[in-house]
Chains A and B, each alone.
Chain A
Amino acid sequence: MINILQNHLSEFISGFGITLLSSVIALVLSLVLGTIFAIMEVVPNKGARVIARIYIEIFRNIPLLVITMFFYVVVTKIFAMSGLTAGTIGLALYTSAFIAETVRAGILAVDSGQMEGARANGLTFWQAMQYIVLPQAFKIVIPPLGNQFINLVKNSSTLAFVAGFDLMYQGNEIASTTFDTINTYIVVGIFYLIITLPLSYYMRYLEKKLA
């Protein structure tokens, strides 16, 4: 195991960097998109609700690999994109559908009296959303959001299927050239833990701090 790590350190590190980069971009994008679609699902406008539902049902119910392959082989004919870009976009869209549902649940869990009270005090719907409802909603959904983020980091391994040069891709290549499959994937697993464990603990810390 130490041998594999020493001989292929640069490949592992570059794969680790790509996985981290892709995860961070996808995390930010999916959080923004997810929140937008969650709000669209609860606004009084019927058109917005329908659009949000269609978006969420499409991306929540198609396998991530299919979405990623769609961007890699179809969308690329219009906008040329590398495997890394296609994979990150696929990851962001896929996760955003789950985050939208999570945040929507959070918004609905905030007592309706909060919104009514805010409106009665002269705030507009958007102001009430921004200052009163969303902060409380996010506090409620921190644990399930943490799950989504951890899943996102692990799902970034689909980049390997579109030659995204991530950790899994490097792992596959090292395993197939050295034939030391078991040790290679153990090292790959440890590198994933380096990202997911601190993330997991940070979410737990946030939960305690805000509760």
Chain B
Amino acid sequence: MKINKIKILMLPILMIVSTLVLTACGQTKSSSSQNQLTTIKNTHQMVWGVKADTKLFGLMNIKTSKIEGFDVDMAKEITKRIDPKAKPVFVQVTSQTRIPLLKNGNIQAIIATMTITKEREKIVDFSKSYFNAGQSLLVMKGSKIKNTKDLNKKGTVVLGTVGSNSVLNIKKVAPKAKVLQLQDYAQALTALKSGQGDALTTDNGILYGMSEQNPQTRVVGGTFTKEPYGVAIDKGQTDLKNSINKAIDEIQQDGTYRKLIKKWFSNVPGFDWRELLND
């Protein structure tokens, strides 16, 4: 009976504690509606959400336990131009977690291979595009396929992953080709290497990463869809958005952009990284 009484007493205490905790959460959330640009300049730090599992864009280096990639370097450059004293802080995000984290105020900006789309623009604001992503083709070295026109023949086989947009796109671009949908990118790449298909299709960024790790493959034909990557910030942060746009302009004009593109994409075999500089 005594234990029961204690339990009954504990209940209101627990409720009060949880109320306090939840209120505290609410307060931090309301801070996200403050002017982020002023916050960055006052605290001298800018919190970025980056990918940690995407080769060339944001990948965790196991030796140094730091995230490295094109997105990360862009974030560093942008931060430097917004406030020279500020330090960039990197938080690991995935495609599922990035928008909730931004909306909750845990991160101030997302630079994580995020395509600017109309649906997303309803929830977040985007900077101008900093990378021209798009769907492309990966083939084996020496393949006769040079672009999507070569694919649009009877008997050619294109590999993709189940349920991806890229599979729907390729069916429109090359309706005569047979499309095989595999479970994930690793399996699709294995199937390409064992000759089960003539080409693999998905975003060029992912294909460059595959190609760098597998020198016997080539990315060909440029991009046949437009999926520009942008920096995402919370709605209403116009000041921050303007200064990010200004930073991106500066990065592109003073040659830093060229340097970064060269740093990350010049090792992709058989691919001219200069293609990425043309708009």
Binding site for B on A (CB under 8 A): 72-74, 76-77, 80, 82-83, 161-163, 169, 172-173, 175-177
Contact = CB atoms under 8 A, between A and B. Distances in A.
A177 B191 contact: no
Given A161-B183, A172-B181, A72 B196 contact: yes
Interface string B190-233: 11011110000000000000000000000000000000000000
Given A173-B162, A176-B162, A176-B163, A73 B181 contact: no
A73 B163 contact: no
Contacts of A73: 190-191, 193-194, 196
Where chain A touches its partner, the secondary structure class is helix
B101 interface: no
Given A163-B180, A163-B182, A172 B162 contact: yes
B195 A72 contact: no
Contact of A173 (B181, B183, B191, B196): B181
Nearest to B188: A163
B123 interface: no
Contacts of B191: 72-73, 162-163
A176 B160 CA distance: 13
Nearest to B179: A163
Nearest to A169: B181
Contact of B194 (A76, A161, A175): A76
A80 B181 contact: no
Contacts of B180: 83, 163
A21 B242 CA distance: 62
Given A76-B194, A80-B195, 16 more contacts: A72-B194, A73-B190, A73-B191, A73-B193, A73-B194, A77-B194, A77-B195, A163-B180, A163-B182, A163-B196, A173-B162, A173-B163, A173-B181, A175-B163, A176-B162, A177-B168
Nearest to B190: A73
Contacts of A74: 194
A72 B190 CA distance: 10
B142 to A, nearest CB: 16
A167 to B, nearest CB: 15
Nearest to A73: B194
Contacts of A173: 162-163, 181
B194 A163 contact: no
A161 B162 CA distance: 10
